[in-house]
Every structure is written in structure tokens, then in C-alpha cells.
């Protein structure tokens, strides 16, 4: 008799443990969305237990924030180093995630040796080196990445034409098309994206991109999708965003919201993320996901966040101030923006039905 209370509380404890274990786990982004949800990562961060746990369980797609860029993989003329990129791919394989490759060609993040020698190359030499680079990288990751940003940010910042990068100067306006062809030669199946910023905010830039895409499609240059980077503020025009989605869908291309972050501190005066800003961020996130959810299934590629935690965002350095732009706060807690993503899935779905 005296033992009964002991056994009954032990029983209660056991019931609690077992039922806790049986409870369905909290919803994860990757299981809630019917399209891949991605995050930009680095090998150093993936080596941290908490970070890896969230990156591995919440997301179904991974992009290397930096290490698959030429600066890391292009060791010397016709010499390549895939070790850092391979570690990101290994993480993704262990967590049943797809990998989006970023990026084969970019006027920034060039390796030092290339920056130092590029002016001395004639056009044919540079073209041959670049072709060998694209062939080698795409072949190396064949079957391991589902997609590549082939050329990143080839359109001028203001959107009024091609960016006058060293590649354009040496190889001519059509180098973007040829890079797409080189990538396709190396992998017949990988999806090829053109990726840029301000696609949803600068109609002139969108127009220039669409003109390029139309030209590619008319000439049979391979292109499967457009990456809209979505480094945005709370003032994003949803009409412009919707217009960009519609125009890309009309061209039968996939859309990748490829580098999402939402700045909340435009003046740089805020010392913390206010409740009001957090709520606006949640609402904007919901609207973006709702509109994305409503494009046809075959046009959805993925939504990728440009980092996991607020304090790890490139924007702190870039703007000189904290922007609290991501789904998780510095302590890995979900922010209202996370709930906004789920809200958007739900409202988008209701409209779809
Ligand atoms: O987030 C990236 C940052 O860590 C790097 O220092 C920077 C290097 O130029 O690139 C950042 O990522 C950029 C991405 O590759 C292309 N679109 C703009 C992103 C922010 O600059």
C-alpha cells in the first residue's frame, strides 16, 4: 500500500515520457511546404551542433552561401578544389536535402590569382579557362546538385543593360548564353538558373532580364529558371512582386526565391527588433509565401533563406546595422517571421483549393 503512490507517480512519469515521444513533432518548414525550403550555409556553421540540428531538420534544400563560388573552388588555372563544397553536399546527403549550386560565374568573389591575371588574358584564353572551369565544376557535382546559378548578377545594378564586368568586356554580351551552354554540355539534367537581385523591385531590371530570357528561348539556349534573390525591405511592393512572378511564369520557367531576407532597420536607429517590426515582417513573409504558393506547381522551384540566424546575416556588415532579417533569432528561436511563412502556406493553399 505504501508503495502505491510511488508506483502511480512512476506510472504517470512513464505515460508522460511515452506520450511525449509519440506526440507528433512540431511542424517543420520542410514538411509543411509542398516545395523545397532552403537555407544558405557554411561548413563552419554546419560543424556546430545546434546549427546543424536546425539546418538539417527544418530545411529540405541547401545552398552554400560562399564555398561553391569560384573564390573557393578555382585554385589556379585548370586546378580546382572541391573540398569545402563537398562537405556541404555530404551534409545535405545525410539529411535527405537537395543542393542548389551557387554560383558558376560572378564578377565578385574571384580568386586572387584570377583577379591578378585576368587583365593579361586575351579573350580566347579567358573563354577557354572559363569553359574548363564550368565543365569541371558541373561534372564534379553531377548527380549531387539539382541546379546551378550559372551567371550571377550579369545585369547592371540599375537594370538598364548588361553589367560592364570584366567578363562582358573580354567575352562580349553573349557570354551568359555561352556559359549556359557549357553548363548544359557538362550535365544534361541539371537545372540552369539566371540569378539576380531587385528582380521584384526594379521593373526596368526585370524587363532587361526578360529580354535576355526571351532571346535565350528563341535561340534554344538552355535556361530552366530565374532566381529572384529577394533581399528586400518591409516596403516591398507586392504588385511588383506579383508582376515579376507572372512574367516569369508566362515564359514557362521555374522561379527560385533564392536569397530571401527581410530588412527591418532601414534607418539603422533600432536597438532591437520591435514587436511592430516583427509583426510587419511576419505579415510580409506570409504575403510572399501566399503569392508564391499560388503560382503553378511546375513553376515552383524553392524558397531559400540567405542564412539561418539574424546575427549571421551578411546584412549586418553590409548595412552597418543589425537588420533581424531571417527566420531564427540569435538563440535559434523561431521568430514571428517563421510563423508568417506557415501562415502564407495556409492562406495560399486555401485559395488554391
Ligand atoms: O552572403 C554572402 C557573403 O557572406 C559574402 O561575403 C558575399 C561575397 O561577395 O556574398 C554574399 O552573398 C551574395 C550572393 O552570393 C549573391 N547575391 C548577393 C549576396 C549578398 O551579397
Tens digit of each residue's pLDDT (9 = 90 or more) over 171-197? 999 999 999 999 999 999 999 999 999
Give the distance (Å) from ligand 1 centre to CA of residue 286.
Answer: 25
| pLDDT interval class at 117 (50, 70, 90) | very high
Residue 54 has pLDDT above 80, yes or no: yes
| pLDDT interval class at 352 (50, 70, 90) | low
- Residue percentage of the chain with pLDDT more than 70: 92
Residue 106, strand partner residues: 152
Residue among 314, 318, 323 whose CB has most ligand 1 atoms within 8 A, to mutate: 314
Which of 243-247, 279-283, 348-352 is predicted with the least confidence, judged by mean pLDDT? 348-352
Q: Average pLDDT of the chain?
A: 94
Task: Decide: 152 in ligand 1 pocket, CB within 6 A.
Answer: yes
Work out which ligand 1 atom sits closest to the CA atom of 229: 17
Give the distance (Å) from ligand 1 centre to CA of residue 313.
Answer: 10
Task: Decide: 314 in ligand 1 pocket, CB within 6 A.
Answer: yes
Residue 350 has pLDDT above 80, yes or no: no
What is the C-alpha to C-alpha distance for residues 175 and 179, in angstroms, rounded to an integer? Answer: 6
Which of these, 182, 183, 181, 178, lies nearest to 167 by C-alpha position?
178
Residue 226, strand partner residues: 194, 255
Give the distance (Å) from ligand 1 centre to CA of residue 138.
Answer: 21
Give the pLDDT confidence score for residue 15 in this predicted structure: 47
Give the pLDDT confidence score for residue 9 in this predicted structure: 53
Residue 105 has pLDDT above 50, yes or no: yes
Q: What is the mean pLDDT of residues 157-181?
A: 97
Q: List pLDDT tens digits, range 303-340.
A: 999 999 999 999 999 999 999 999 999 999 999 999 99
- Residue 43, phi then psi, degrees to nearest 5: -60, -40
What is the C-alpha to C-alpha distance for residues 152 and 69, in angstroms, rounded to an integer? Answer: 10
Give the pLDDT confidence score for residue 349 in this predicted structure: 86
- Provide the whole-model pTM: 0.93
Positions annotated as catalytic residues are 153, 259
Give the pLDDT confidence score for residue 351 in this predicted structure: 57
Q: Whose CA is closest to atom 9 on ligand 1?
A: 109
Give the distance (Å) from ligand 1 centre to CA of residue 321.
Answer: 16
Which of these, 352, 353, 345, 351, lies nearest to 37 by C-alpha position?
345
Residue with cell 510587419: 280
End-to-end Cα, the chain, rounded Å: 59
Give the pLDDT confidence score for residue 1 in this predicted structure: 42
Residue 116 has pLDDT above 60, yes or no: yes
Work out which ligand 1 atom sits closest to the CA atom of 197: 17
DSSP per position, 177-232 = HHHHHHHHHH-SSSEEEEEESSTTT-HHHHHHHHHHHHHHHHHT----EEEE--EE
Residue 23 has pLDDT above 60, yes or no: no
Q: List pLDDT tens digits, range 194-230.
A: 999 999 999 999 999 999 999 999 999 999 999 999 9
Residue among 38, 66, 109, 115 whose CB has most ligand 1 atoms within 8 A, to mutate: 66
Task: Decide: 281 in ligand 1 pocket, CB within 6 A.
Answer: no
Which is more confident, 102 or 3?
Answer: 102
Q: List pLDDT tens digits, range 261-286.
A: 999 999 999 999 999 999 999 999 99
Give the pLDDT confidence score for residue 8 in this predicted structure: 52
| pLDDT interval class at 250 (50, 70, 90) | very high
Residue among 72, 259, 308, 325 whose CB has most ligand 1 atoms within 8 A, to mutate: 259
Give the pLDDT confidence score for residue 230 in this predicted structure: 98
Amino acid at each position: 500500500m505504501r508503495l502505491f503512490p510511488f508506483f502511480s507517480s512512476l506510472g504517470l512519469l512513464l505515460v508522460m515520457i511515452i506520450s511525449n515521444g509519440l506526440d507528433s513533432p512540431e511542424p517543420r518548414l520542410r514538411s509543411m511546404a509542398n516545395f523545397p525550403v532552403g537555407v544558405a550555409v557554411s561548413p563552419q556553421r554546419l560543424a556546430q551542433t545546434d546549427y546543424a540540428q536546425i539546418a538539417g531538420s527544418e530545411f529540405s534544400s541547401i545552398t552554400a552561401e560562399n564555398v561553391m563560388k569560384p573564390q573557393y573552388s578555382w585554385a589556379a588555372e585548370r586546378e580546382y578544389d572541391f573540398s569545402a563544397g563537398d562537405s556541404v553536399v555530404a551534409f545535405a546527403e545525410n539529411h535527405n536535402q537537395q543542393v542548389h549550386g551557387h554560383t558558376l560565374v560572378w564578377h565578385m568573389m574571384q580568386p586572387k590569382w584570377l583577379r591578378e591575371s585576368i587583365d593579361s588574358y586575351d579573350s580566347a584564353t579567358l573563354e577557354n579557362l572559363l569553359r574548363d572551369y564550368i565543365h569541371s565544376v558541373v561534372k564534379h557535382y553531377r548527380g549531387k546538385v539539382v541546379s546551378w546559378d550559372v551567371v550571377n548578377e550579369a545585369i547592371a545594378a540599375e537594370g538598364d543593360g548588361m553589367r560592364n564586368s570584366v567578363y562582358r568586356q573580354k567575352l562580349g554580351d553573349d557570354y551568359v548564353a555561352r556559359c549556359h551552354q557549357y553548363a548544359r554540355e557538362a550535365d544534361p539534367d541539371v537545372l540552369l538558373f539566371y540569378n539576380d537581385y531587385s528582380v521584384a523591385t526594379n521593373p526596368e531590371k526585370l524587363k532587361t532580364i526578360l529580354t535576355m530570357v526571351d532571346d535565350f528561348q528563341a535561340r534554344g539556349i538552355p535556361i530552366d529558371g530565374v532566381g529572384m534573390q529577394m533581399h528586400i525591405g518591409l516596403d516591398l511592393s507586392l504588385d511588383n512582386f506579383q508582376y515579376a512572378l507572372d512574367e516569369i511564369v508566362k515564359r514557362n520557367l521555374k522561379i527560385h526565391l533564392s536569397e530571401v531576407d527581410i530588412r527591418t532597420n532601414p534607418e539603422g536607429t533600432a536597438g532591437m527588433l520591435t514587436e511592430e517590426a516583427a509583426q510587419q515582417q511576419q505579415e510580409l513573409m506570409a504575403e510572399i509565401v501566399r503569392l508564391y504558393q499560388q503560382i503553378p506547381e511546375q513553376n515552383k522551384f524553392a524558397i531559400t533563406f540567405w542564412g539561418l540566424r539574424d546575427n549571421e546575416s551578411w546584412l549586418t556588415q553590409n548595412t552597418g546595422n543589425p537588420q533581424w532579417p531571417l527566420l531564427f533569432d540569435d538563440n535559434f528561436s523561431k521568430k514571428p517571421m517563421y510563423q508568417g511563412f506557415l501562415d502564407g502556406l495556409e492562406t495560399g493553399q486555401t485559395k488554391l483549393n
